[in-house]
C-alpha cells in the first residue's frame, strides 16, 4: 500500500536540493554543527535502505511501543461534527502516550549506530522528553532533557516521569522559558558536546536533515491509517486532520496522502486567545517566513526579525515556528492551516472525554475542534480521519483548573 | 580594500595581532553602548565588532544572552545597530557587525549590505549562515563592497574548512573551541591547530574568538593569530558593576591590560 505513495512522493520534492521544501527548510546553523548534521543526514539515508535497521525498528514498534496503533470510530462524537464519520488514529495508545515515540526510537537507534553515548532533547509538553528518556533507558544512553521553566510547572507530571526514567531534566530560565528557549539551550549543549552527543530533535523543524528524517520516522502513522481506513470504509477519507505545533504528528499522517488529490489535509494551529489578539501560536495563520532554529519557515516575529513569544494553553503547541514542509504545503495549497482558540480546544477536549471515554491531550484537542468545524462544513456523508496524537493524562490538572475557573 | 583589511595589513607589518572587541548594540542603552565603545577605542582596541542583539542566540553563552536581552528590552533594532556602527566608524576605527541571519533577511539582504556600507562599516560576521545558504548574501555584500566573515569550527573536515575560509573576506573567524561564547579558564589547544589548518588554504588573516578573557590568554592567542576577539569578558565587567560609571572604569582597566597582553605577544 505504501509503495504507491512512496513512488509518487519521491517526485513531490525532487526539484529542490535535499533538505529544501521550495524556499523553506535548509540549514542555518553554526559551522560547528555542520559535520554532525552531514553525518546524520548520511546515516539517515543509509539506514532507510538497510534491512537490518528497518527490521530492528519494526521489532521495537511491534514489541515495545505497540504498533500498529488501532483506529477507532467516534460514533457519539460524530453528532457534534455535523454527523460526519469520524475516525481516530490512536497514537495515544502508543507506549509513553503519544506519537513522539515513533521518531525517538528511530533516532535512538541512529545514535547507537553513530557510536554516541549521550542524547539530549528539548520538550514542551514533556511528551517528547518522556519518549526520549524512555528510549535512552531502553538503550542505555545518558539523557538530558531541556524544558522551559514555565513548562516544568505546567507539565509537572511529565517532569516526574522523566526523572523516574533516569533522565536529567534541566529547567531553562532564558527568554520566554518555554519550548523555543529549550531548543536554544539544547542547541548550545549540542554545539559544545557534539562529539559524543546526539540531539534528538522532537519535531519536523530545525536544520536539515531533521525535517525530513523526523517525517520519515512518523510517516508510519499515515501509512497505517491510510490502509486501515480503506479497509474499514472501502474508500479514502475526505479530509485528514491533525494539530500543528512544530508539526510532527501532522506531517506523519499527511505525508502518505499527499498524492491523493481528493483528500483534504487540514492542520490546526494553536490560536490561543485568537489570532486578532496577537496572543497565539499560529505560525502559518498569523506569521510570515523567516529563519528560526536552523531553517526557513513561517514564524512569529517582529519587524526586526526577533522571534515573538507564542501563547497557547497547550505547552506542546506553544512554539513560534513550524516545520518547513508545512510552510511549503501551505504555499502550494496542498494543505490548509486554521487556528483553533484555547476555548474551542477545551470544548473539544471535554466533548471527546464525555462522548467517547477518551481523554485527549490538549494539543490533540485542537485537531478535534477542527474536526467539529470541518464535519459541519462537509456534512454527514463525509469521512474525517483525525490523528489522535496523544492522551491527556498529563493535562488533567490544567484542564481541571481551566474548567474550575470558568465556573467562577 | 576595507578599513578592516587595511588595519589588519598595517598591524601585520608591525608584527602584532589585532585586538578586536565585541559589544552588543544598545547594551545597556544606545547612548551607554556608545560610551563603552569610546572606552574600548581609547584603551587599545583596534577593531570593534558590534553585536545585533537577537532573541535566539544559539551560539552565545549566558553573558551575551543577558546583555542581548537588556538591549532588546530597550527596543534595540536595526536602526540602532546602524546608528552605533556609524558612531564607531566616526571614531576612525574599523567596525563590523555580528548578527544572526534572520535580522538581515527581514531587513532585506541587499538593503542591509548597503546600510552597512553607508555607515562606513567594513563587513558583517554571520555565525549561523551556513555556506549552503550564503550565496545571496555573498553576492550582495560583494556588490556593496563590504566583507563577509564566516565562523570556522574545529570540527570541520579539511575540504569543508577550506571552503568556509575561502568564502571569507576581511578575516576568517576561527572558533577556538566547540562551544558557545563565554569566558573560559584556558584557551583550547584546538585554536592554534585550527589557525594553522586555515592558513594552509587561504592568505586571509585569521582571528580567534570564543573563550578569550584574560590578558594571559590574549597574549597566548596573539602569538600565533592575526587577531584576538574578546566579548563576554568585557560585557561581564559592565554587568557586574553596580553602576555604569564604575563599569566603564573597570572596562578601561581590563581593555588596557588585554591590549598590553596582545602587544607583548611577539
A21 strand-pairing partners: A24
Look at residue A176 in the predicted model and tell me its pLDDT.
81
- Work out how many CB contacts closer than 8 A connect A with B: 113
Give catalytic status of residue B60 as yes or no: yes
Domain A22-64+100-210 has CATH 3.40.50.1100: yes
Please report, to the nearest 10 degrees, the dihedral formed by the alpha carbons of residues B64, B66, B72, B77 taken in order: 0
Look at residue A408 in the predicted model and tell me its pLDDT.
56
Q: Is the pTM of this model over 0.90?
A: yes
**Domains in chain B, number:** 1
Among A271, A304, A301, A277, smallest CA distance to A289 is for A301
Write out pLDDT tens, residues A303-350: 999 999 999 999 899 999 999 999 999 999 999 999 999 999 999 999
Cell of A210: 531533521
Among B59, B61, B66, smallest CA distance to B175 is for B59
Domain A67-97+218-407 has CATH 3.40.190.10: no
Min CA distance, A384 vs chain B (Å)?
A: 38
Contacts of B54 in chain A (CB under 8 A): 305-306
Indicate whether B16 pLDDT > 50. yes
Among candidates A34, A191, A301 on the partner chain, residue whose Cβ is nearest the Cβ of B59: A191
Domain boundary assignment for chain A: 22-64+100-210, 67-97+218-407
Write out pLDDT tens, residues A125-150: 899 999 999 999 999 999 999 999 98
Residues of chain A with pLDDT under 70: 1-10, 408
Cβ of B153 and A195 within 8 Å? no
Range B216-243 burial, b when 16+ CB lie within 10 A, else e: ebbbbbbebbbbbbbbbbbbbbbbeeee
Among A334, A67, A11, A33, smallest CA distance to A221 is for A67
Contacts of B61 in chain A (CB under 8 A): 188
Contacts of A191 in chain B (CB under 8 A): 58-59, 178-180
Domain that holds residue B55: 3-263
The single residue of B14, B31, B49, B260 carrying the catalytic annotation is B49
Contacts of B163 in chain A (CB under 8 A): none
Q: Residue A210: which H helix or E strand, with range?
A: helix A210-233
Look at residue A177 in the predicted model and tell me its pLDDT.
87
Please report, to the nearest 10 degrees, the dihedral formed by the alpha carbons of residues A312, A316, A319, A322 taken in order: -120
Write out pLDDT tens, residues B193-244: 999 999 999 999 999 999 899 999 999 999 999 999 999 999 999 999 999 9
Among candidates B55, B60, B130 on the partner chain, residue whose Cβ is nearest the Cβ of A34: B130
Look at residue A309 in the predicted model and tell me its pLDDT.
94
Cβ of B154 and A32 within 8 Å? yes
Asked if B127 has any chain A CB less than 8 Å from its own CB, the reply is yes
Sign of the alpha-carbon torsion through B253, B254, B258, B261:
positive
Asked if B98 has any chain A CB less than 8 Å from its own CB, the reply is no
Give catalytic status of residue B220 as yes or no: no
Look at residue A263 in the predicted model and tell me its pLDDT.
98
> ipTM of this predicted complex?
0.95
Among candidates B101, B132, B164 on the partner chain, residue whose Cβ is nearest the Cβ of A291: B101
Look at residue B50 in the predicted model and tell me its pLDDT.
98
* Number of CB atoms found within 10 A of residue A195's CB: 11
* Number of CB atoms found within 10 A of residue B10's CB: 11
B213, B233 in Cβ contact below 8 A?
yes
Look at residue A10 in the predicted model and tell me its pLDDT.
61
| DSSP secondary structure letters along A185-199 | HHHHHHHHHTTTEEE
> CA distances (Å), A277 to each of A77, A311, B137, in order?
30, 10, 35
The CATH number given to whatever domain includes residue B222 is: 3.20.20.70
Amino acid at each position: 500500500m505504501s509503495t504507491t505513495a512512496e513512488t509518487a512522493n519521491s517526485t513531490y520534492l525532487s526539484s529542490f536540493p535535499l533538505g529544501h521544501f521550495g524556499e523553506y527548510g535548509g540549514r542555518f546553523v553554526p559551522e560547528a554543527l555542520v559535520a554532525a548534521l552531514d553525518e546524520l543526514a548520511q546515516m539517515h539515508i543509509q539506514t532507510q535502505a538497510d534491512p537490518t535497521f528497518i527490521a530492528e525498528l519494526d521489532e521495537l514498534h511491534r514489541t515495545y511501543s505497540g504498533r500498529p496503533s488501532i483506529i477507532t470510530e467516534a460514533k457519539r462524537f460524530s453528532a457534534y461534527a455535523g454527523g460526519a464519520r469520524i475516525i481516530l488514529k490512536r497514537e495515544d495508545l502508543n507506549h509513553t502516550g503519544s506519537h513522539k515515540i515513533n521518531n525517538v526510537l528511530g533516532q535512538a537507534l541512529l545514535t547507537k549506530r553513530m557510536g554516541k553515548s549521550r542524547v539530549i532533547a528539548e520538550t514542551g509538553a514533556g511528551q517528547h522528553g518522556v519518549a526520549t528518556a524512555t528510549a535512552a533507558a531502553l538503550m542505555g544512553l545518558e539523557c538530558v532533557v531541556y524544558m522551559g521553566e514555565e513548562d516544568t510547572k505546567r507539565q509537572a507530571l511529565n517532569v516526574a516521569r522523566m526523572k523516574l526514567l533516569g533522565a536529567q531534566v534541566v529547567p531553562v530560565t532564558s527568554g520566554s522559558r518555554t519550548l523555543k528557549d529549550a531548543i536554544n539551550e539544547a542547541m548550545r549543549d549540542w554545539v559544545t558536546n557534539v562529539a559524543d552527543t546526539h540531539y534528538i530533535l522532537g519535531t519536523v523543524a530545525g536544520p536539515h536533515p531533521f525535517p525530513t528524517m523526523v517525517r520519515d520516522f512518523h510517516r508510519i502513522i499515515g501509512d497505517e491509517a491510510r490502509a486501515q481506513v480503506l479497509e474499514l470504509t472501502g474508500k479514502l477519507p475526505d479530509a485528514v486532520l491533525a494539530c500543528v505545533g512544530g508539526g510532527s504528528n501532522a506531517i506523519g499522517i499527511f505525508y502518505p496522502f499527499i498524492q491523493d488529490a481528493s483528500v483534504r489535509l487540514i492542520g490546526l494551529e494553536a490560536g490561543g486567545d485568537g489570532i486578532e489578539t496577537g496572543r497565539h501560536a499560529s505560525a502559518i495563520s498569523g506569521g510570515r517566513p523567516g529563519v528560526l532554529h536552523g531553517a526557513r519557515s513561517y514564524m512569529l516575529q517582529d519587524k526586526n526579525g526577533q522571534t515573538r513569544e507564542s501563547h497557547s494553553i497547550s505547552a506542546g503547541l506553544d512554539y513560534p515556528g513550524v516545520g518547513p514542509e508545512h510552510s511549503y504545503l501551505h504555499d502550494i495549497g496542498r494543505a490548509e492551516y486554521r487556528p483553533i482558540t484555547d476555548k474551542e480546544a477545551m470544548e473539544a477536549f471535554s466533548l471527546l472525554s464525555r462522548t467517547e471515554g477518551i481523554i485527549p491531550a490538549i494539543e490533540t484537542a485542537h485537531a478535534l475542534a477542527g474536526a467539529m468545524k470541518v464535519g459541519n462544513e462537509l456534512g454527514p456523508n463525509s469521512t474525517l480521519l483525525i490523528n489522535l496524537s496523544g492522551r491527556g493524562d498529563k493535562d488533567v490538572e490544567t484542564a481541571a483548573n481551566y474548567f474550575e475557573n470558568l465556573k467562577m | 580594500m576595507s578599513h578592516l583589511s587595511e588595519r589588519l595589513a598595517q598591524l601585520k607589518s608591525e608584527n602584532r595581532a589585532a585586538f578586536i572587541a565585541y559589544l552588543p548594540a544598545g547594551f545597556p542603552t544606545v547612548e551607554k553602548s556608545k560610551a563603552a565603545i569610546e572606552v574600548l577605542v581609547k584603551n587599545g582596541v583596534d577593531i570593534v565588532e558590534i553585536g545585533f542583539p537577537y532573541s535566539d542566540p544559539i551560539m552565545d553563552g549566558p553573558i551575551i544572552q543577558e546583555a542581548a536581552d537588556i538591549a532588546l528590552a530597550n527596543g534595540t533594532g536595526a536602526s540602532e545597530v546602524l546608528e552605533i556602527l556609524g558612531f564607531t566608524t566616526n571614531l576612525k576605527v574599523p567596525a563590523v557587525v555580528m548578527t544572526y541571519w534572520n535580522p538581515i533577511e527581514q531587513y532585506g539582504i541587499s538593503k542591509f549590505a548597503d546600510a552597512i556600507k553607508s555607515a562606513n562599516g567594513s563587513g558583517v560576521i554571520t555565525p549561523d549562515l551556513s555556506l549552503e545558504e550564503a550565496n545571496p548574501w555573498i553576492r550582495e555584500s560583494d556588490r556593496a563592497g563590504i566583507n563577509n566573515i564566516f565562523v570556522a569550527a574545529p570540527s570541520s573536515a579539511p575540504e569543508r574548512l577550506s571552503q568556509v575560509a575561502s568564502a571569507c573576506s576581511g578575516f576568517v573567524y576561527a572558533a577556538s573551541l566547540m562551544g558557545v561564547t563565554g569566558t573560559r579558564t584556558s584557551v583550547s589547544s584546538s585554536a592554534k591547530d585550527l589557525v594553522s589548518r586555515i592558513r594552509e588554504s587561504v592568505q586571509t588573516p585569521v582571528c580567534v574568538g570564543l573563550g578569550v578573557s584574560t590578558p594571559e590568554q590574549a597574549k597566548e592567542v596573539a602569538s600565533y593569530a592575526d587577531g584576538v576577539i574578546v566579548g563576554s569578558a568585557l560585557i561581564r565587567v559592565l554587568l557586574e558593576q553596580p553602576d555604569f560609571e564604575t563599569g566603564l572604569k573597570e572596562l578601561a582597566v581590563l581593555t588596557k591590560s588585554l591590549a598590553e597582553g596582545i602587544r607583548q605577544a611577539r
